[in-house]
Amino acid sequence: MEITSSVNSSITRQSSLKKTLGKDDFLRLFTSQLKYQDPLKPLESTEFTSQLAQFSSLEQLFNINNNIDRMVTFQQSLNNGIAMSLIGKTVTTEDNIASKVTGIAFDNGITYLMLENGTRTNLSQIKEITQ
């Protein structure tokens, strides 16, 4: 009785920590299903094909997510290079405030320009750049 409640509470804790299934979880479930299926009543070919298609889709979504992560990292690198090239130049923000760029700052993956007037602005808020 104690073992069952301990196992149940452990499963509850794990499920509350992890709300989504990954590709490894799906593959484990799929192989377990194949392992424990009734040999006299194997999976219908349509069910099997459907599950293989789901796994293939899951794998492709995982690959797309990895590619998007790499693209975001690349874009952040480009923003950092652009920001560095603006140091020493005067920029005008969307608020029509012109100030010289004295440095750059990074916060949660966003690149900011540090301005001579003591403010900082996002690259996307720059509308004009002058020497």
- pLDDT tens digits along 76-92: 888 889 999 999 999 99
Task: Note the pTM of the prediction, 2 decimals.
Answer: 0.54
Helix or strand (DSSP H, E) at 11: helix 2-17
Using the predicted structure, report yes or no on whether residue 17 has a pLDDT greater than 70: no
Give whole-number Cα distances, 78 to 83, 85, 96, 107, in Å. Answer: 9, 11, 25, 16
Radius of gyration for the alpha carbons in the chain, expressed in angstroms and rounded: 27
- Give the 3-state DSSP-derived string for 50-114, with helices as H, strands as E and coil as C: HHHHHHHHHHHHHHHHHHHHHHHHHHHHHHHHHHHHCCCCEEEECCCCEEEEEEEEEECCEEEEE
Taking all residues of the chain, what is their mean pLDDT, rounded to a whole number? 80
Q: What percent of the chain is modeled with pLDDT above 70?
A: 76
Band (pLDDT 50/70/90 cuts) for residue 2 is very low
